[in-house]
Amino acid sequence: MKTVFVMIKCELGRTYDVAAYLADEVPELRSCYSTSGQYDLLAQFQLGTEQEIGRFITKTVQTAPGVKDTYTIIGLNAFTEDGVTGGPDDI
């Protein structure tokens, strides 16, 4: 599994629409938060090992209605219980 965090800038007035669309239409979405600052949303996606990150972002996230811009962060290792890995031997 691959964890990807995407900061999303929405068209003016569309933040809640974008969040609802992602929640309803994108099964890879694990969480989505509204944020303050340069971006409007922070979304966490869990991709299968066969899924290409770049293709997922460009075909699924960037083309969602109301999305204006994205910034992608790839998760390398999880250090919490809900993550895929977590023990000191995994570092």
Q: Could you give the 3-state DSSP secondary structure of residue 7?
A: strand
pLDDT at 11: 98
pLDDT at 80: 80
pLDDT at 86: 47
pLDDT at 78: 85
List the domains of the chain with CATH numbers: 2-78 (3.30.70.920)
pLDDT at 22: 98
Average pLDDT, 10 consecutive residues per value, the chain (91 residues): 96 98 98 97 97 98 98 91 56 48
80 CB contacts (<8 Å, ≥6 apart)?
86
The model's pLDDT over 3-15, given as tens digits with 9 standing for 90+, comes to 999 999 999 999 9
Q: If 0-12 CB within 10 Å is exposed, 13-18 middle and 19+ buried, where does residue 70 land?
A: middle
Q: What is the pTM of this model?
A: 0.86
